[in-house]
Chain A
Amino acid sequence: MNHVDELISASLSGDLSDVERRQLETHLADCERCRSTLAAFSDQRRLLSGMRHVPAPADLAPRVRSGIESGRGRAAWWRRPGGILAIGASLATAAVALALALFLFNRPIQVADSSPTPSSAITIVSPNPVPSQSLSPSPSPTPSREPSPTVVPVSNDPAGYLVYTLSNGNAALSWVRTGSAPKVIKVPFGDTPLAAQLSPDGTWLAFRLNEGLKGAERLYAYHLPNGKLVDLGESLWQPAYGLGGQLAWAGSDYLAYTLFSSSGKPDVWLFRLRAGDVRQLTDTGDAFAASFMPSSSGSGSGIQLWISRAATDPGSYLVPLPPSNAAWGGPIDPAASGLTSVAGVYLPLVAPDGKHVIFWRGTMSTPGGHWSFGQGGMPYLAGQTPSGGFDFVGGQQLFPGLMPVGGEAFNGASIAWGPDSDAFAVWNTSWTGQPQPAGFPDSMRVYLGHVSDGQLITPAHALDSADTSGGMAVVDVAIAPDGMHLALTIRTGSGSEGGTYGATAELRYVTRRLGNDPDVVKLIGSSGAWNGPAVFGTLVGP
């Protein structure tokens, strides 16, 4: 699709301005391809408008009348006792601390009982017993690297992962704790999982699901010990180029995330664990959740969340939050709240130890309604200053060798830190400029960098091409505590109905090898299913 196609399409329904009409007519006079497109679209419109009119059922009027008289609609088959329980959150009346109170906002949350039920339809393969398959005929040389000074005495196997299966036409989403039987999560809406984040205390799993029929997403938090499911809301647009899909946990207080309205306006939402409710933090229609400052973890006070407002010149704000059981003061406009702000910085992702931050700079635009970088988009790494802030001005390019030419750079990319605060991964890169060198950066490769490796990301930091070979897209990347193992969710089958029904994904557990040794790749999960994303960490509960 290009701009002229859009003009041709709009011309059929009389949605062109005079200027656009003249522009189109001029173009059509010289372009055979576009004349053909116009003819095809016109034929299409003629065919559809001529579809046979089917009489409505004769009993429609009495059925409607009966429904109105009885005060209810049809007894829908999905409405079962014990299904979704809507719990109304009471309206708070007090102003919230920190002078953020503007007005009250009330949103009921939905909590669904999710009885853990083993499913015999899923065969589970633990990461360990799977024979390793070296898929790489040509490993990429890995830069040598000093071991991370941080010793993390936890497993480098995934703690668990999500799996979405179809069996005889029935779909099921399950949580699989490594080495245990799968547990079905009864989600009322959504299908294939796109991202998952474990809370720092290992009790909650937040995840994003596709809603293939709508091209939307549904977000949930699943309590691992008791199987409770919290509906975090529906996001009616999907983040573009990995910008805005963060699921940010702050200890046992908050989960911050972004929801898009039906018109594509993003705002930041909070799941308040202590209060057990879901609240809208911003109402500006341009705000994205980025990350919490690590001092937030578990303290119950001093919680600070980085949020970003998308604009031609974006900016970020550090929002102080009260403990999550405090009275709620309603949504805020960060620009009007006197908060700490950093101009030109977008989506600052703070490392778990708080010593570094990865962020974006560039000029943003909204092609197709989605915020992304239009010119000069580039991720940077900055360190902490003695005062506890970040040296955003002195940040260095995450891809030091890439030179934006003529403003062409990244539209965006997905970025995640490893638990060791040293490793970071970049994937789904959308580079609009000339490859530098050929094939770099590649949207189908995953790049693994380490802060302790001063080179950051170069072509040599790409995982082997075989690690993602045969895939249609890299859906998610999770990094193990040692920073040298990764769990890649690779979409391998497209499915139907918006691309999610019947879609498949492989969960590939990658051991990154140094030097010229090929990475080791093991498959986790079952064939013919959507496996992943996975999470690392220590779990609480079954």
Chain B
Amino acid sequence: MAFPGRAAAETPVSAPRAGTTSREAAFDRLFEEFSAPIFNYVLRMVSDRDRAADITQDTFIKAYRKLDSLTDDASARSWLYRIATNTAIDEMRRRRFVVPMSDDEVRHARRPDLRPGPEAQVISTMVDERLQRALQRLKPNHRQCLLLSDLEDMSAQQIGEVMGLSYGAVRTLLCRARGEMRRQLATEGLTR
């Protein structure tokens, strides 16, 4: 089994015990196929490599626990992206939630730094940086549907399954997202 981008790929994720069940084998296949795309999707959502890794980790732990609810292999992709999307939203929301902080907690509640800081270590090209800045200025739901459409090449139907929206609502949301992204790309000098 090979884990993308990882040298020591021979160790299955979910098989710490001697016998590997079909459930664990199924989970290993999911991890193998989707861990890298999910990480990249989340990275574009939160613009921070460490946070993206944490969210991806939580996504697959949740997926393992809920694996029995996945009855149809064909819907595995939407199912995983839905977990990832919800986990990312929860993480973003909690990073800025409303509560007085003690000193040792204050660092967690800082507003996400949208400047090209940590993400600059990850996104090396100028175009990528400008794209990421433009993405980061979108509303989160605009960013999600745009990434699912243009980065993940999902249809409106599939995006609806991920985001819990109707087909028509996705088309409307996606159109608004494209319009807003067009304006943001213009400010980055990336449009014709």
Q: Which residues of A contact B (CB under 8 A)?
A: 1, 5-6, 8-10, 12-15, 37, 39-41, 43-45, 47-49, 51-58, 60-65, 67-69, 73-74, 76-78, 117, 119, 164, 168-173, 184-191, 211, 213-215, 236, 262-264, 368-369, 496-499, 501
Contact = CB atoms under 8 A, between A and B. Distances in A.
B112 to A, nearest CB: 8
Interface in B24-48: 31, 35-36, 39-40, 43-44
Nearest to B109: A170
B44 A67 contact: no
B66 interface: no
Interface centre among B100, B110, B137, B174 (most CB of A within 10 A): B100
B54 A13 contact: no
A171 B109 CA distance: 8
A61 B6 contact: yes
A44 B153 contact: no
Contact of B100 (A62, A172, A215): A172
A56 B35 contact: yes
Contact of A48 (B7, B139, B147): B147
30 contacts: A9-B171, A15-B167, A40-B192, A44-B181, A48-B131, A48-B150, A52-B125, A53-B36, A56-B56, A57-B53, A58-B5, A61-B35, A64-B60, A64-B61, A65-B11, A65-B13, A65-B16, A67-B57, A67-B61, A68-B13, A73-B61, A73-B62, A119-B100, A170-B101, A190-B98, A213-B93, A262-B165, A369-B169, A501-B96, A501-B111
Contacts of A173: 98
Interface residues of B, number: 85
A55 B122 CA distance: 9
Contacts of A14: 155
A63 B57 contact: yes
Contact of A64 (B31, B165, B192): B31
A175 B162 CA distance: 37
B14 A498 contact: no
A369 B58 contact: no
Given A65-B14, A191-B98, A58 B7 contact: yes
A13 B145 CA distance: 12
Contacts, number: 223
B169 A368 contact: yes
B87 to A, nearest CB: 9
Contact of B141 (A41, A44, A191, A214): A214
Contacts of A501: 96, 111
A471 B38 CA distance: 41
8 closest residue pairs by CB, A with B = A55-B5, A262-B164, A48-B150, A9-B175, A56-B39, A67-B61, A6-B175, A15-B156
A54 B39 contact: yes
A369 to B, nearest CB: 5
Nearest to B122: A54
Given A61-B31, A64-B64, A67-B57, 6 more contacts: A1-B175, A9-B171, A40-B182, A41-B182, A48-B146, A60-B39
B13 A64 contact: yes
B23 to A, nearest CB: 12
Contact of A51 (B13, B99, B106, B131): B131
A236 B125 CA distance: 37
Given A41-B178, A498-B140, A501-B111, A188 B97 contact: yes
B3 interface: yes
